Amino acid sequence: MKISTLIAAGLVAAVSFTAAVAKDISGAGATFPAPVYLKWADAYKKATGAAVNYQGVGSGAGRKQIEARTVTFAGSDIPQKGEWLDQRGLVQWPMVMGGIVPIVNIEGVGPSDLVLDGQTLGDIYSGKIKRWNDAALKALNPKASLPDLPIIVIRRSDGSGTTYNFTYYLSAVNEDFKKKVGTGEAVEWPVGIGGKGNDGVANNVMQTKGSIGYVELAFAIQNGLAYTDMINSAGKRVKPKFDSFQAAAQNADWSKADHFNLVLANQPGASAWPMTVATFILMPTESDDAEAAAAAIKFFDWAYANGGSMAKELDYIPMPDSVVAKVKSAVWSKIAK
């Protein structure tokens, strides 16, 4: 009697387990948006009962998995070229945004006390500017008391979408950096100390006097680090804030971007933050499991509509409505449901 109940219970559990697996939407990829995707998934499950599993395994690993079709969707911080996508039967669209901020550890310097521009930031990261009281830094910050200390450069040791976007920006605005370092997920840094992950860089900056690093804004805020302002492409000083990130996305010319292949770095606009990052979703146009694909689109649709405030709580920036409308009309229509 007891045993048979146990077996029955086991069977029921097994059946319901497989049923749950069949309905699941699975995704993998970039770690940067993982917190917000997980939060959305949690709320979505409460609202609709459908589960979304997202594994933050890294942009590169996510792309591999979507190529092999082992997941329903992939997350990537790096937009892919149209050609690359077409060859693999994939489409991509931007899902949510964040911003990269320079963080510094100098005694008496708080958030937004200093301002940098692409030229000096690039010179610091290519090893040309070596001390905090360098003339270029003094010219940008005439009022700040910059110490006579060496600059300890902190950067990522692992391959990362953050590094890609950061080096993309610096290469765009600093010729010397472009020649010496270039753009990539992992580059050949001429100077500096490598930290693993955004938190590794944040920790190193916290521990090291006179250091500079770059992280997603959320990490700077959570760790109470002093971020700097930036001079943008319009020559204006901007703070890394919600509005300046949204301005970058709004001013970006998405209509010219083939397959949404657009990096938000160095976008025009007087109030645009120069190191804004959009993170992308990749999905196949023809999926083996059309049901799962449709369920995934439903989830993203829900997230665009209801996820904004949750994103903001975690210091992410929702996509502007104009971009969302374009994603729906130009991309989702291509996915076979």
Q: Which residues bind another protein (CB under 8 A)?
A: 57-61, 64, 130, 150-152, 157-160, 167, 182-189, 192-196, 203-204, 207-208, 211
Sign of CA dihedral 126, 132, 138, 140: positive
| Spatial CB neighbours of 234, under 8 Å, sequence gap ≥ 6 | 268, 269, 270, 272
Task: Give the DSSP H or E segment for 58.
Answer: none
Cβ 244 to another protein shortest distance, Å:
28
Rounded CA gap, 95 and 319, in Å? Answer: 7
In the bound state with another protein, the residue whose beta carbon lies nearer, of 32 and 300, is 32
In the bound state with another protein, the residue whose beta carbon lies nearer, of 184 and 320, is 184
Residue at token pair 């911003």: 99
What residues form DSSP beta bridges with 103?
A: 213, 227
Cβ 151 to another protein shortest distance, Å:
8
Any long-range contacts for 141-146 (C-beta under 8 Å, 24+ apart)?
Answer: 141/114, 141/115, 144/109, 144/113, 144/114, 145/108, 146/106
Cβ 152 to another protein shortest distance, Å:
5
Cβ 28 to another protein shortest distance, Å:
12
In the bound state with another protein, the residue whose beta carbon lies nearer, of 43 and 61, is 61
In the bound state with another protein, the residue whose beta carbon lies nearer, of 63 and 326, is 63
- Whether the Cβ atoms of residue 192 and residue 167 lie closer than 8 Å to each other: no
Cβ 201 to another protein shortest distance, Å:
11
DSSP per-residue string spanning 301-318? HHHHHH-HHHHHHTT-EE
- Whether the Cβ atoms of residue 116 and residue 154 lie closer than 8 Å to each other: no
In the bound state with another protein, the residue whose beta carbon lies nearer, of 119 and 183, is 183
In the bound state with another protein, the residue whose beta carbon lies nearer, of 185 and 229, is 185
Cβ 209 to another protein shortest distance, Å:
8
